[in-house]
């Protein structure tokens, strides 16, 4: 099993003081997870590459695109803004291999995500192209949703298929569900509300990580 990584999601942080928010958690973070929504693939819209450019941290930026058919120039915007890895959605791209190849060509991590109802078979052919797979444990688009237990079947199957792959889970991750996801084979944990929704962010992180001991 690869190393455990914690990826606080700034979707639940205060965007108006995002660098201060990140400062509070960066000592305990392996990645900073940034959700980008276009209002097409998912109804809400969030931030863009100009916003990502303003983020000041040494923690790698894990950019999750909930975006319909991101073009090369759109992807390049996030690469130039400092993304360490970019995740695209299988459901949002006609030919995900095109976007994954472009990301890889630019020497950053390439990742693919699937929604809770999308079967793992849909991404099987891309597994040798990616550095990480993101299994959504809620429907993409909104923070604060309840963890969908049935998504764990995909995590378990994927871990058997790819023992050394980073498997990320995103949605409803808290001190209780994080253990479930870890036991099934996930090693990268996105947590938004469970961290930024608390007054003491460090205590919240320690509680999540404590569940994995």
CATH of the domain at 57: 3.20.20.70
Which candidate in 14, 35, 107, 200 is catalytic? 35
Distance of alpha carbon 61 from alpha carbon 5, whole angstroms: 13
Which candidate in 128, 170, 183, 200 is catalytic? 170
- Per residue in 32-77, pLDDT (tens digit) is 999 999 999 998 898 999 999 999 999 999 999 999 999 999 999 9
Distance of alpha carbon 124 from alpha carbon 163, whole angstroms: 14
pLDDT of residue 130: 98
- How many domains does the chain divide into? 1
pLDDT of residue 64: 98
pTM of this structure: 0.96
pLDDT of residue 145: 82
Query: 């995900």: which residue's tokens?
Result: 96
pLDDT of residue 1: 82
pLDDT of residue 151: 98
Active site residue 170: yes
Active site residue 107: no
pLDDT of residue 213: 86
Q: What ranges make up the beta strands (E) of the chain?
A: 5-8, 32-37, 61-66, 83-89, 109-114, 132-136, 166-170, 188-191
Residues of the chain with pLDDT under 70: none
Burial environment of residue 113 by CB neighbours within 10 A (0 to 12, 13 to 18, 19 or more)? buried
Check: CB of residue 77 under 8 Å from CB of residue 91.
no
pLDDT of residue 181: 98
pLDDT of residue 176: 95
Domain that holds residue 186: 5-210
Distance of alpha carbon 26 from alpha carbon 78, whole angstroms: 20
């Amino acid at each position: 099993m690869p190393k455990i990584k914690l990826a606080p999601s700034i979707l639940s942080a205060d965007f108006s003081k995002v660098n201060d928010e990140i400062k509070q958690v960066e000592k305990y973070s392996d990645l900073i997870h940034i959700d980008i929504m276009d209002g097409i693939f998912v109804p809400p819209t969030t931030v863009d590459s100009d916003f990502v450019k303003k983020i000041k941290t040494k923690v790698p930026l894990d950019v999750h695109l909930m975006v319909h058919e991101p073009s090369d120039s759109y992807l390049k915007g996030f690469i130039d803004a400092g993304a360490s890895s970019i995740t695209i959605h299988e459901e949002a791209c006609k030919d995900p291999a095109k976007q994954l190849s472009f990301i890889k060509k630019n020497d950053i991590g390439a990742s693919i995500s699937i929604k809770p109802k999308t079967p793992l078979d849909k991404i099987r052919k891309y597994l040798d192209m990616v550095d990480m797979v993101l299994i959504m444990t809620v429907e993409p688009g909104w923070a604060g949703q309840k963890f969908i237990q049935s998504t764990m079947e995909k995590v378990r199957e994927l871990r058997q298929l790819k023992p050394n792959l980073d498997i990320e889970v995103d949605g409803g991750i808290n001190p209780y569900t994080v253990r479930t996801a870890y036991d099934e084979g996930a090693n990268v944990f996105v947590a938004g509300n469970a961290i930024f929704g608390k007054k003491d962010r460090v205590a919240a992180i320690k509680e999540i990580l404590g569940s994995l001991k």
